Amino acid sequence: MTFQLQYTDAKSEARAGLMTTDHGLIETPIFMPVGTLASVKGVHLHELKDDIKAQIILGNTYHLYLRPGTGVIEAAGGLHKFNGFDRPMLTDSGGFQVFSLAGIRKLKPEGAEFRSHIDGSKHFFTPERVIDIERSIGADIMMAFDECPSGTADYDYAKKSLDLTEGWLDRCVQRYQETDPKYGYHQSLFPIVQGCTYRDLRTRAAENVAAKNMEGNAIGGLAVGEPAEVMYEMIELVNSILPKDKPRYLMGVGTPINILEGIERGVDMFDCVMPTRNGRNAMIFTWHGTINMRNKKWETDFSPLDPEGTSYVDSTYSRAYVHHLFKAQELLAMQIASIHNLAFYLELVRQARQHIIAGDFSLWKAKQIEELGRRL
């Protein structure tokens, strides 16, 4: 994988770049739809590629390991062959699931023991095992195994957690270097910067990750309970240390405002379940703020979902119609909202890129922040 830094904003750390993978190009900044179980919920493949214009999507190592299992994916020839998405893909490491399964997992220096949320069966993830699983899945970008502490964790826990993550990272890198891809194309490994909200821990983690000299780097453990201002502070700190000539991936973040703030601070890649999860719960993102489609005020509003939108659903379906679908609990409502929101997120980062290239990103971003925070 290669990364070419093409443009930088004169008034901020915002940047536009080009990632080259064996499955295609990725223009940054980019948003990556989350395809946890080898599918983006409620979205057909042709919609994902043609209407949403996704350049890269995610798969979830923990979930794909449990179901359908690496045997099925290997038999298919890897994840790209299994789900039919012929563009780049990324797999997370399962570290966030370790965090979210706190009640049914045990952490050890060797790895993480956990019980399946499906049938209660016991499993053990070591850093080596995670790399092997990600090799079997076959994504273009693999994430190193880490622990993601809560944003409100105390210093002692955060330090112990970082000790664990850094030990696991050493083993992930070693396993990555001693194994080969299974399907004839290159796979990159991205380390993850942890350290909670403590500047000294984040500094230490970022320096350690930068020293690994991998093809890209990630920032994890944010948007997990800490105030937004603290999150932005940590992003600034970490990006002041991570190399500028490699892509930076902010994991699991977030709202449209979060994404613009991240771009301004030098982040290149984002993912979040918010567009689809909130969409399934009747929240629509627009250029003038968010809409709760269940509110009665939309009952006779026959205007497009977002008059300034660019996805096909904006001109096809009215607010009144989508309101009706949600009130009637029609499955189509969730599909329309998910496609619309994903298309909006992809258009948001596309426009951000255009304004970075044009040299007026900071001015454009300030105007968008005023609009995007509104509830219509």
Q: Which position among 9, 51, 92, 146 bears the catalytic label?
A: 92
- 83-97 burial code (b ≥16 CB/10 A, e <16): bebebbbbbbbbbbb
The reply to whether 154 belongs to the active site is no
Nearest C-alpha neighbor of 314 from the set 339, 334, 350? 339
Yes or no: say if 43 and 271 are a contact pair by the CB < 8 Å rule: no
Q: Quote the CA–CA distance of 327 and 325 in Å, as a whole number.
A: 5
Q: Which position among 140, 146, 268, 271 bears the catalytic label?
A: 271
Q: Quote the CA–CA distance of 187 and 362 in Å, as a whole number.
A: 34
Q: Quote the CA–CA distance of 343 and 54 in Å, as a whole number.
A: 8
The reply to whether 92 belongs to the active site is yes
Q: Quote the CA–CA distance of 234 and 125 in Å, as a whole number.
A: 28
Nearest C-alpha neighbor of 170 from the set 222, 113, 223, 211? 211
Nearest C-alpha neighbor of 265 from the set 297, 229, 214, 296? 229
Burial zone of 134 (CB within 10 Å; 0-12 exposed, 13-18 middle, 19+ buried):
buried
Burial zone of 5 (CB within 10 Å; 0-12 exposed, 13-18 middle, 19+ buried):
middle
Q: Give the Cα-Cα-Cα angle 144, 223, 314 (nearest 5 degrees).
A: 105
- Cα separation values, 365 from 260, 261, 267, 353, Å: 7, 8, 14, 11
Q: Quote the CA–CA distance of 346 and 42 in Å, as a whole number.
A: 17
Count Cα neighbours of 314 within 13 Å in the Cβ-side half-sphere.
Answer: 18
Yes or no: say if 266 and 13 are a contact pair by the CB < 8 Å rule: yes
Q: Quote the CA–CA distance of 241 and 243 in Å, as a whole number.
A: 6
Residues carrying an active site annotation: 92, 271
